[in-house]
Amino acid sequence: MFETSMTLSDLMFLAKGAGMTIAVTFFAVTGGTVMGLLFGVIRAQISPWAALPLTFVLDVFRSVPLLIQLVLANAFQAIAGLNLPPFATSCIILALYTSAYCTEIVRGAIDAVPMVTRRAARSLGLSWGQDMTYVVFPMALRVALPSWIGLTLGVLKDSALVLWLGLIELLRSGQILVTRLQEPMFILLVVGLIYFLLSFPIARFGSQLEKRWREND
Amino acid sequence: MFTYTFQWRQAWQKIPLLLDGALVTLEIALLSMAMGVAFAVILAVARNSKSRWIYAPATVWVEVARNTPALFQIYMAHFGLGSFGIHLSPYIALLAGITFNNAGYLAETFRGALRAIPGTQLRAARSLGMPQTQAFRLVIMPQMFRIAFLPTTNQMVWAILMTSLGVTVGMNTDLAGVTQDINVRSFRTFEIFALAAVIYYLIAKAVTLGARLLARRMFRY
Amino acid sequence: MIEIKDVYKSFGTLEVLKGINLTVEKGEVVSVIGGSGSGKSTLLTCINGLEPINSGSILVDGVEVHAKTTDLNKLRRKIGIVFQQFNAFPHLTVLENVTLAPRKVLGMSKPEAEAIAEKQLAHVGLGDKLAVYPGRLSGGQQQRMAIARALAMSPEYVLFDEVTSALDPQLVGEVLDTLKLLADDGMTMICVTHEMTFARDVSDRVAFFHKGIMAEIAPSKEFFNAPQHPETQKFLSNIRS
């Protein structure tokens, strides 16, 4: 069907783009998860009213298009004279974006641990920290992990938007090849296949994990 | 640190233009959802089919929609189809891309909702003498739409956010497109994009709130 | 008349019915008792064609239920069934639950169906709950609604599948009273049940199922006073002690 003038070095170029996609995703998910854990524990501990400012800010990250967030952040860092490279700006915004979703996952997972279980733990003389470490987190992890895997894959896909700040990630490197080789469908199919290969196995793993855990309950 | 002077007045004057763009954004989101729901119902039913020729394409659609970026799907519609001599305008390419994405996610939502309805409901309906299709229409579908309603409104918010991707394929009439157009001419990037962000936020909240009120009216049980 | 002739039924390799023979006359009330997994509930879903059978035949008023030419939807209009798990339609009010099938299956007008539904609901003591959604009802009320729903189709036979098993003990009485009223009205009923008092006082005959076989069937007094089959004796003495 396709006779292509795409060469091995073009493929390497795409692989490099995929590397960028993975790097951005890695930093965003790592940073976002750390922040999400922190915010999530805070959200679960204090009253909804006290958490309102935090809830509002995080909600903004989920209600404004990521593209707009990236442009705004980039403009802001220029105004503030921070001279951040686009890679750093992208990672920071994506991390905050990730943390907004991660917070909800963490809070939901902690809330899913029955109060009686926690009371029982505290009645045995466990401190708040011990209760959290030995009772709440192991139980909450089961609830949170499938959603967290979903979030990670979401960020992997959403990271394509950093091309707007000039980063040459997977989709952008594909677009560059399209311009050069004029074979849009074939090259985009290759790009899509790479995304699919990155995402699908993990998605399958996540849903199987979820199924297995649900059956064991 | 800040040597930049914000010029909000200039951006403020562009509000009418931005609101016009917001209408286009809403229009695309609503159209893509209407078509997405229709395709999703077909996909959800097709994925339960025993025929491979029906099951396989539906599965490919759903898995590609869910495992590749929305932007990639829009690129496929805009650039990819060029290989076959099909050149879609940014508007159509954006609409097609988001519809494809919506349908894939909603198909899974509907499938999950169908599974959440106990099989005994269908048995009870059949026991009263209803044919399969009637039982499905009168007993199963209303319950499915209730379970799927909130996830569907979430997808609507996603659809609104996804419309902003149109700007990357040259869309210049929706909110993001108009914003970028003004930005290119005025270079007041921060102010104009901040205003756009506020408008997106308000639209998203209005949709969420509206959906909740609607749900309260529609599902009284 | 319901005639069950040498019916065999299995789920995969699990045989649940191994040659059942039973005839239920018009106006008769037959209770079916037995341990769990004895196949008694499966028999009911075979009678209204929800489950296919492997061999044998079931005739309702001379019509073979599992014949390919039989219009099951039509046949089911005269065989009501009430399940253990109520199966109320949660998206419809009590009145709508009961009028749905008369309107959509029998093609009655709305006022016509509502008149019948209101009568049936009043009969089961739910006359004041017409506009309520089932989620707001107790289990006993939901089950009585399910009975009214089945009766609104004016069936000639009603099958009851352990209708009190999912209820809290204090709610069992109200549902059994409803069943008793129905039996007194002369309805033909097959009741799969664990309520021995009900089986003894209300039914004409009682059948005992054991591992897919109908071990014994007898008029209810005889059945309880002088059970013949050793498994029946064992079952009854276990319940009494």
Residue in the structure block whose two tokens are 């074979």: A183
Q: Give B-chain residues touching C77 at CB under 8 angstroms.
A: 129
| Domains of chain C, start order | 2-240 (3.40.50.300)
Asked if C105 is an interface residue toward chain B (Cβ–Cβ < 8 A), one would say: yes
Contact flag A192-B164 (C-beta cutoff 8 Å): no
Nearest Cα of chain B lies from the Cα of A134 at a distance, in angstroms, of 33
Q: C-alpha A11: how far from its chain's center? A: 26
Contact C135, B146 (CB under 8 A): no
Asked if C74 is an interface residue toward chain B (Cβ–Cβ < 8 A), one would say: yes
The CA-based diameter of chain C, rounded to the nearest angstrom, is 55
Per-residue pLDDT of chain A (217 residues; tens, 9 = 90+): 456 778 888 999 999 999 999 999 999 999 999 999 999 999 988 888 888 999 999 999 999 999 999 999 999 999 888 889 999 999 999 999 999 999 999 999 999 888 888 889 888 888 888 988 888 888 898 889 989 999 999 999 999 999 999 999 999 999 999 999 888 999 999 999 999 999 988 888 888 888 887 776 6
Q: Give C-chain residues touching B120 at CB under 8 angstroms.
A: 83, 85, 87
What residue segments make up the domains of chain A, in order of their start? 21-168
**Chains A and C touch, contact meaning at least 3 pairs of CB atoms under 8 angstroms apart:** no
B111-140 pLDDT, tens digit per residue, is 999 989 999 999 999 999 999 999 999 999
B164-204 pLDDT, tens digit per residue, is 999 999 999 999 999 999 998 887 889 999 999 999 999 99
Instruction: Give the span between the Cα atoms of C189 and C185, in whole angstroms.
Output: 11
ipTM, two decimals: 0.89
What does each C-alpha distance from B52 to A37, B38, B56 come to in angstroms? 44, 21, 5
Determine if the pTM surpasses 0.90. Answer: no
Per-residue pLDDT of chain C (241 residues; tens, 9 = 90+): 999 999 999 998 899 999 999 999 999 999 999 988 788 999 999 999 999 999 999 999 999 999 999 999 999 999 999 999 999 999 999 999 999 999 999 999 999 999 999 999 998 899 999 999 999 999 999 999 999 999 999 999 999 999 998 888 888 888 899 899 999 999 999 999 999 989 999 999 999 999 999 999 999 999 999 999 999 999 988 876 5
Size of interface A-B (CB pairs under 8 A): 113
**Chains A and B touch, contact meaning at least 3 pairs of CB atoms under 8 angstroms apart:** yes
| Domains of chain B, start order | 20-218 (1.10.3720.10)
Q: Which residue of A has its CA nearest to B165?
A: A67
Residue in the structure block whose two tokens are 């599902």: B219
Contact flag B130-C134 (C-beta cutoff 8 Å): no
Q: Give C-chain residues touching B221 at CB under 8 angstroms.
A: 90-92, 133-135
Instruction: Give the span between the Cα atoms of B221 and B201, in whole angstroms.
Output: 31
Q: Which of residues 84-143 of B touch C (CB under 8 A)?
A: 118, 120-121, 123-131, 134, 138-139, 142-143
The H or E element that residue C67 is part of is none
Contact C161, C192 (CB under 8 A): yes
The H or E element that residue C58 is part of is strand C55-60
Instruction: Tell me which residue in B128, B134, B219 faces C153 most closely, judged by beta carbons.
Output: B128
Q: Which residue of A has its CA nearest to B191?
A: A72
What's the confidence (pLDDT) of residue B188? 83
The angle formed by the CA atoms of residues C115, C121 and C123, to the nearest 5 degrees, is: 105
Q: CA nearest B203: which of B8, B23, B17?
A: B23
Q: Which of residues 136-195 of C touch B (CB under 8 A)?
A: 149-150, 153
Residue spans of alpha helices (H) in B47-172: 52-67, 70-78, 90-116, 119-127, 132-135, 141-163
The helices-and-strands tally (H runs, E runs) of chain A is 9, 0
Q: Which CATH class is domain A21-168?
A: mainly alpha
Instruction: Tell me which residue in B127, B139, B142 faces C76 most closely, judged by beta carbons.
Output: B127
Residue in the structure block whose two tokens are 């198909």: B107
